[in-house]
Amino acid sequence: MLSRVVDSLYWMSRYLERAEHHARLLDVNLHGLVDQNPEFAQKRRQRLLKTFDPELTDSDDLIMDILLNRNHPNSILSCIASARENARHVREQISSEMWEQVNRLYLYVNKAKPADIAVNPNHYLTQVKKGSQLFQGITDSTMSHAEGWQFIHVGRYMERASCIIRLLEVFLEDVEIGEDEEVALDQYSDWVGLLKSCTAFEAYCRSYQSYISSPRIVSFLVLDQTFPHSIRFSADLVKASLLDISEITQTRKVGNVNRLSGRISATLDYALIDDIRSDPAKFLMDIQRQYALLHESIYTTYISYPVETGL
């Protein structure tokens, strides 16, 4: 497979995952801001903005800026436009249903007007989430599960892990991981909001019977092996897909890619909640750093490798 094709499939998947994550984050937190007193609402708003971009400054129209600003790489419109552009570059590699869905989603967000969104932001954000999730389902059911599909998988779960890590980094700057007991009443909505921001509330409750404990929530989001939006689950899927790619392509010098993905997976397999609680910022930063190294290794191995390697 051509390196430019790999690049486009990888980033198409990452941008759509980022758009879906940001839409869910906005949807959950905009609802949460309504229910809290002004002091807590302002803290939650600042945390939300910092999750998107630490350099953003608060303003009345900032939420619309996050939704529709084409010049900001993390805005929902910008992410979906970039995903569509990458999909356009690889029309011959993806199914017609995939192209139709990403194009349909782009046309929806592109024609959205701030005044219409302000009336019912939940409807707009829900359509973005459903559109991204529908694209994932169409991809899995209409595309051969070969090399290209595996790179889409890698992009999706690399981006998902990075988004969850960033969300936890910002959240745990303001809120400490306490003892294994029910969280204080004034922090209850924040911890529940964190779970809902990762589509994890129902799954968490099935595991812990609605016992809202900060160590259990962090452990669930970081270390759970079966929940699709945990960091460990994403790491295991990335590792498995990269191993499959190396077997399919018989690419030389893939050892570093597989070693790095295996190391991330092993770090999370053997980690305990006490390892995270002692210094959550250090733990999460280390995982994020390992993902950055893996991203660079994927590029040098499969995308921007030297000509001599290709020959």
Interval 148-204: pLDDT, tens: 999 999 999 999 999 999 999 999 998 889 888 888 888 888 899 999 999 999 999
Give the C-alpha separation, 94 to 77, whole Å.
22
305 Ramachandran zone, left/alpha/beta (phi>0; psi -120 to 50): beta
Query: pTM of the entire structure?
Result: 0.92
| In the block, residue with structure tokens 């922090």 | 187
Interval 239-286: pLDDT, tens: 999 999 998 887 655 789 999 999 999 999 999 999 999 999 999 999
Give the C-alpha separation, 228 to 199, whole Å.
9
CB 87 within 8 Å of CB 79: no
Interval 98-125: pLDDT, tens: 999 999 999 999 999 988 888 889 999 9
Give the C-alpha separation, 125 to 76, whole Å.
9
In this prediction, residues 52-59 reach a mean pLDDT of: 72
Give the C-alpha separation, 203 to 121, whole Å.
26
